[in-house]
Structure 1
Amino acid sequence: MKKKIKPKHRQRKRNHLSFRLNVLFFVVFLLFSALILRLGFVQIVEGETFVNELASTTNATERHDAPRGVMYDRYGHVVVDNQLELSVTYTNPSRTTKAQTMLEIAQDLEPLIEVDTERVTPRDKRDYILLTMSEEDRYKLVTREERRDLDGPSSEYQLEIERITDEQIDRLSSQELQVAAIYREMARGYANSPQRIKQRITDEEAHVISENLDRLPGIDIARHSSRTYPYGDSFHSFFGSTSQIPSERVDYYLSRGYERSDIVGTSYLEAQYEEVLRGQKAVVESVTKREGTRTIDSTVNERLGQRGNDLVLTLDMELQQRLEDIIDQEIRKSGNSFILDRSAYAVLMDPRTGDILAMAGFWDPAGRERDSYADHIGNVNKAFEMGSSVKAASVLTGFHAGVASPGTRFNDRPIYLPQTPPKRSWNTSGFGWIDDRRALEQSSNVYMFEIGMRMANCYYTAPNTRCGWTTGSGGTIERAYQEVRNSFSQFGLGSETGIDLPSYSSGLTGGSESGGNLLDLMIGQYDNYTTLQLAQYIATIANDGYRMEPRLVREIRNPSTIQDEQGAVVQKFEPTILNRIDMSDAHISRVQQGLRDVMTRGTARANFGNASYQPAGKTGTAQVKVAVGQGDYRRVVDGNTQSLVGYAPFNNPEIAFAVVVPDVRLGSNGGRQGIAQEISKSALEAYFELKDSRNGAKPIDEPLLEEVNID
């Protein structure tokens, strides 16, 4: 057998490959060796040089707050604006900064500014006294035996605080209180985060502080902006307020890129649209290199800030001012008509879109001094028994339940049920046999009672006849309550309105679900509703059964760079239909005709019978009992809550309204009747007058400036 011999060229090729790999490994070895040598050289030979250079390089980052977005009304009037102001801030460079160091800075700053000392608590004063005591005096506060029994420094400090006497606090001078107030604000800050010490410093204070910044480490003058309200209290409470981040919300905001000292919206529109209104901060980064006491290099990088986006509201500020004046005049004209507090609430809205055009409230609490009687927010957070103004919902509920239909007649006469006071209409002898339209026109209670009783399987035929309704779980009364409330909620009565606010009331339900209370529920004298819920209910009927979501904001716009001009639209909010009530068009039309009858022939004809704008609506008077007096003089006074709901024009509704006047004395006791009707009449006249001619909203002489809470 012959021996196989490998070709020479294949052997040479393999030797050549091995040589290349060896060269590659050698080069890699040299590179790693060079890298290791270089690292060793940098660390061992030049390490000290680089450490010194790093120590001589300072990097300071400043963040300047940007103004929040402004708010406009529907006609372009600025209703919430910003005003530039200067504040004194302290930035704690480290968590380990000693309290004594901050106290010394506070003592140096005190002669330069004047601060409010009202917020200085007794605990703050004790802290200050401890800081200013000598070590010897402080050591005397706690005995050696007591220290042995204490758990640690915190327990010892608490005992020292308790040993500070009231006499020592009383001996503090005004100058010392000023220092304590400054130190209090400084100590409340977080490391590397500016903490406001005083807002709105004067120009003189700013100049003096600027001249002394070199000896006030951590102290700076920062630019901020505060909210201003060109129209004063008009709609002010709905705009909301701003403050430093509340302690319970710190984690929430920090996770979204905020700093602890940032100002945020804390209520109503400011809170609801915080992410929109929030501005983008300007960032200034300064890098300085020093060699000894000499600066050898300095660079500044700046990122410009931007004002937050703007809101265009549905509000008509001129109409709002007219409505506020109307309520104010009518309440003051009523004199002593009120049992205790004088108050009234009104909502004007577009039933086709849900736009809130105006929403005003007046509250004059008895025995209390107030700077302002404005209580606009009461329209969404105060609930009342609304009386007969809800009867349109009662009739439609009866139609839907099948216990009545258009044209159904019931005998309006007193009803006597076991263990229940007599139930009758305001016309105590009754209206006799009436149909649904006549029942709305004359505000028959008994017609609504009949609907409620029949829904609970009670067919009342004669005095003292026992009804066939049953109580308890699954009983006919319980089912009737549920059916009525479910029906009412379709209109917005007793349900969430959906308005773009972070909080509002959904009303209150009565307690005991008895047969007699069911009858009261049908005439609006059991469950409680807000004025906004009442307005949404009547707007739903005006809008042929479509319940619109009430809204306060129409658009979000970019901040404008041109004076008196709005920026480009970022987002436009379209009207939102919440639901369509589960009633037929014929039934809704029938009730609409009944509401028109109220204004032309019924309980509101005196004020609206000849109105050119052709209103439709429903009056309401709920009986109330109000406790007045104290101790042996405490007594209960009978009164009523007046209400009126409606819309106009009847054939093509463009405005819906609800007016509520709580706790008015009875006419026999000197109470003025018809206050709600007078307010409604003047409000509708104002709306239609403004359609023809406008003079513009009237700003106050000195814009109202928000007091920002920095606690």
Structure 2
Amino acid sequence: MNYFRKNSGTGSNKQASTPIRMKIILGIIFVLFALLIGQLAYLQLAYGSRFKAEVAKTDSTVVSNQVPRGVMYDAKGRILVGNKANNAITYTKGASTSTKQIYNISNALSAYIRLNDEKPTSEQLAEYYLADQANSTRIQAKMPKSQLDTKKYSNSEIYQNEIAAVKKEKINFTDRQKTAALIFNKISGAYTLSTIYIKNKGLTDKEIAEVGEHLSDLPGVGIGTDWERSYPNGSSIQSIIGSVSTEKSGLPSDNLQYYLSQGYSRNDRVGTSYLEKEYESLLKGSKSTSEVITKANGDIQQTKTVYKGQAGSSLVLTIDAKYQKQLQSTLKRVYNSALASGAARYSSGAYAIAMNPKTGALLGVAGLSHNPKTNKTVDNALGVINQSFVMGSVVKGATVSGGLINNVITPTNNTLSDAAVYLPGSAVKKSVYPIGTFGSLDAPTALEVSSNIYMMHLAMKWVGAKYVPKQYISMPSNSFEILRRNFSMFGLGQKTGVDLPGEVSGIEGKSFDSQGRLLSGSLLDLAYGNYDAYTPIQLVQYVSTIANGGYRMQPYIVQSVGRTGNNGKIYVNYNKKPNVQQRIPWTQSELNVVREGFYRVVHGTNGWGTAHPLKNVKPSISGKTGTAQTFYYDPDNPNRKNPPELINATFVGYAPSSNPKLAIAVVFPGLDPDMEGTYTLQVAKAMVQDYFKLHK
């Protein structure tokens, strides 16, 4: 009984103590809440305005934009390459633009513009389609669960699975949806705070007006101006001028890191070839800069221009646009006649170049590239610096000059035997005319009748060869070096240093056979221009050196650099000065031997003279013709047996003969030897007459 009373008393104490503990806990909680509320009240009263300012705070970022490239003018101030301004719809991407926002903007903008000159890919259409969450959910519901397994695939792989599923749907997109897909793709690929062009070609007044009316509903969209290269005086010289990348292609991948290190953006347009590339640093100008102010949520609040930028520098070229047109037209006309006659069936093209022999300024550059397989011909003016050919007898002026300079012959003693050369175990080496036509020749006459035999005897005497007809020939091991050193003085086989990228030095034939023996026969061929290959620009530099009295001038095409003022005038900052690369150590009497020979090539009375059709051209022309044997090379059948035998027909000259102001070179490679005609002389005649009509 006592037991029960004790037990009952213990239970009563527990029940009585529980409310006290709860009260303690609740009291602690109340105190903590009171402290928290007090702290919040303190922060609100003491720092509320500061927090409100923090929320409303904006961020400022400086961005840059391209400016128009520099203009290129011809020697008379005519615009060769300009910038055509185009209205454009632009978009500046915010710092926190979401995919949903891009989708909505794309749909809205597609109601006002069309991108008819572009076609979206299936990939772009699928990405646009999936940007709508409802579409994405529907596609995922149709897909096998295994393709959505995050353990098996990464997020990007799952997305690619969704794109593949959309493609299988074969959805018929409307024209407006296709435009929206293109816009979506452009905006999605834009960098944060960068401005891109949504449409910058063919923008109509209606499109501009409608977009302008709804700019408030199109965040980030604006109306601006873009530019593209224009050629108001024709595009015949475009292969010299080069091209510029598009905003879509951006920086060339092979030089990406270089351009990025120079401050370019990936979508910047840069010169990708020739003058546009060579003078990129001047033509690009300095970018404009703008301050973009963004809200705390990343939306763009305001854009202010900080620096308007400076358009690229202007280039004044040495080429006269009118003469350039005439030159290209003449070359096409004559070459087409060669094609029509069958003479140029296997020809690879034709090239012509004119230069001021006293300064090195290029006055006209024309070229054609012909595909014998398709019979198509395209402009290729750059062939004058990057195509090499065996040029034939046009280089004999350099051979005679070397003989004179090295005292192998003299102005008063330069007669050599004209007996054909018979090397043991090989065919006779002779000139075009029959063996025995001349017993001996002096240097001017050898140039006039284009004697191969004279040049071979001169070369053997020069290098100290030992020769017994049909039995024996021996030459020093440095014989090729002797002749090539002489040719290089005139620029043959050497890069000229012209201010264009891509120039080649030519092709040098072998000097020794596989057993280390000197190729004596090839050295004799070299002496009259039938071995090493040179470029057309090397030919014009070589003949200019004879024309101006012995100064090898560096060719150039940019005369000056400056800027174009608002009044249209060009303010020059830099003028190119003529550069003498080498002085030929002639005496006047030695030079006169070569000049007399070149004059007689055109004006001589010998029946074997090679350029008499130019005799009556005014002003007087002096020059040298050439032919060199070659073969048709079929790239699709490089081992073709018995390929067609062809010739390279060439001409170099200068006018007037007494005081040269124009030097020219013409090359027609790969002509039928039985149909050589006078094609090079026809071009040369027109080059001289057209130039002096324009420059009286």
- With normalisation by structure 1, the TM-score equals 0.79
Q: Which runs of 5+ in 1 are unaligned?
A: 1-40, 470-475, 693-711
What is residue 33 of structure 1 aligned with on the other side? none
Question: Per-residue deviation at 1:129?
Answer: 6.3
Question: Per-residue deviation at 1:673?
Answer: 0.9
Contact 1:599 1:616 survives alignment (8 Å):
yes
What is residue 576 of structure 1 aligned with on the other side? 579
Contact 2:459 2:524 survives alignment (8 Å):
yes
Q: Tell me the secondary structure at the aligned position of residue 111 of structure 1.
A: coil
Deviations 1:82-121, CA, capped at 9 Å, x for gaps: 2111233333334x75555434433333333322576755
Query: Partners in 2 of 1:672 and 1:568 — Cα distance?
Result: 49
Q: Tell me the secondary structure at the aligned position of residue 265 of structure 2.
A: coil
Query: Partners in 1 of 2:364 and 2:532 — Cα distance?
Result: 25
Residue in structure 2 matching 1:679, options 673, 680, 683: 683
1:142–1:683 distance in 2 versus 1, CA, 3 Å: farther
One-letter code of the match for 2:596? Q
Q: Tell me the secondary structure at the aligned position of residue 620 of structure 1.
A: strand
Query: Partners in 1 of 2:271 and 2:55 — Cα distance?
Result: 41
One-letter code of the match for 1:442? V
Deviations 1:337-377, CA, capped at 9 Å, x for gaps: 2123573211111011001111112334345486x843222
One-letter code of the match for 2:307? R
Contact 2:611 2:624 survives alignment (8 Å):
no
Question: Per-residue deviation at 1:577?
Answer: 1.1
- Bigger drift between 208-217 and 437-446 goes to 208-217
Query: Partners in 2 of 1:677 and 1:245 — Cα distance?
Result: 44
Question: Per-residue deviation at 1:68?
Answer: 2.2
**1:392 correspondence with 2:397:** yes
**1:316 correspondence with 2:320:** yes
Rg larger for: 2
What is residue 523 of structure 1 aligned with on the other side? 528
What is residue 423 of structure 2 aligned with on the other side? 417
1:420–1:337 distance in 2 versus 1, CA, 3 Å: same
Query: Partners in 1 of 2:188 and 2:374 — Cα distance?
Result: 37
Contact 1:79 1:230 survives alignment (8 Å):
yes
Matches within 5 A, 1:431-450: 431-450=438-457
**1:359 correspondence with 2:365:** yes
- Bigger drift between 167-176 and 574-583 goes to 167-176
What is residue 22 of structure 2 aligned with on the other side? none
Contact 2:359 2:579 survives alignment (8 Å):
yes
Residue in structure 2 matching 1:619, options 617, 621, 625: 625
Query: Partners in 2 of 1:273 and 1:344 — Cα distance?
Result: 27
What is residue 186 of structure 1 aligned with on the other side? 187
One-letter code of the match for 1:320? Q
Contact 1:130 1:138 survives alignment (8 Å):
no
Residue in structure 1 matching 2:283, options 277, 282, 295: 277
Question: Per-residue deviation at 1:535?
Answer: 0.6
Q: Tell me the secondary structure at the aligned position of residue 643 of structure 2.
A: strand
**1:340 correspondence with 2:346:** yes
Name the count of aligned residue pairs: 631
What is residue 19 of structure 1 aligned with on the other side? none
Query: Partners in 1 of 2:124 and 2:579 — Cα distance?
Result: 52
Query: Partners in 2 of 1:147 and 1:361 — Cα distance?
Result: 61
Query: Partners in 2 of 1:62 and 1:144 — Cα distance?
Result: 42
Residue in structure 1 matching 2:660, options 653, 659, 669: 653
What is residue 474 of structure 2 aligned with on the other side? 468
**1:102 correspondence with 2:105:** no
1:520–1:278 distance in 2 versus 1, CA, 3 Å: same
Question: Per-residue deviation at 1:247?
Answer: 3.3
Residue in structure 1 matching 2:388, options 383, 387, 395: 383
One-letter code of the match for 1:467? I
What is residue 205 of structure 1 aligned with on the other side? 207
- Bigger drift between 598-607 and 532-541 goes to 598-607
Query: Partners in 1 of 2:81 and 2:318 — Cα distance?
Result: 14
Query: Partners in 2 of 1:126 and 1:420 — Cα distance?
Result: 72
One-letter code of the match for 2:562? R
- Bigger drift between 229-238 and 260-269 goes to 260-269
Deviations 1:167-218, CA, capped at 9 Å, x for gaps: 5568666555444433333343323222333322232222222233334333
Deviations 1:661-684, CA, capped at 9 Å, x for gaps: 1222222xxx25110011101111
Matches within 5 A, 1:166-565: 168=169, 175-200=176-201, 201-243=203-245, 244-285=250-291, 300=304, 302-334=306-338, 335=340, 336-341=342-347, 343-366=349-372, 368=374, 373-406=378-411, 407-430=413-436, 431-454=438-461, 457-462=464-469, 464-469=470-475, 476-477=476-477, 479-511=478-510, 513=512, 514-563=519-568
What is residue 112 of structure 1 aligned with on the other side? 112
Q: Tell me the secondary structure at the aligned position of residue 369 of structure 2.
A: strand
Query: Partners in 2 of 1:206 and 1:408 — Cα distance?
Result: 79
Query: Partners in 2 of 1:60 and 1:658 — Cα distance?
Result: 57
Question: Per-residue deviation at 1:551?
Answer: 1.1
Contact 2:334 2:682 survives alignment (8 Å):
yes
Give the superposed CA RMSD.
3.6
What is residue 146 of structure 2 aligned with on the other side? 143
1:124–1:605 distance in 2 versus 1, CA, 3 Å: same
One-letter code of the match for 1:279? G
Query: Partners in 2 of 1:143 and 1:653 — Cα distance?
Result: 83
Question: Per-residue deviation at 1:330?
Answer: 1.7
One-letter code of the match for 2:114? E
Contact 2:119 2:178 survives alignment (8 Å):
no
Contact 2:70 2:312 survives alignment (8 Å):
yes
1:521–1:179 distance in 2 versus 1, CA, 3 Å: farther
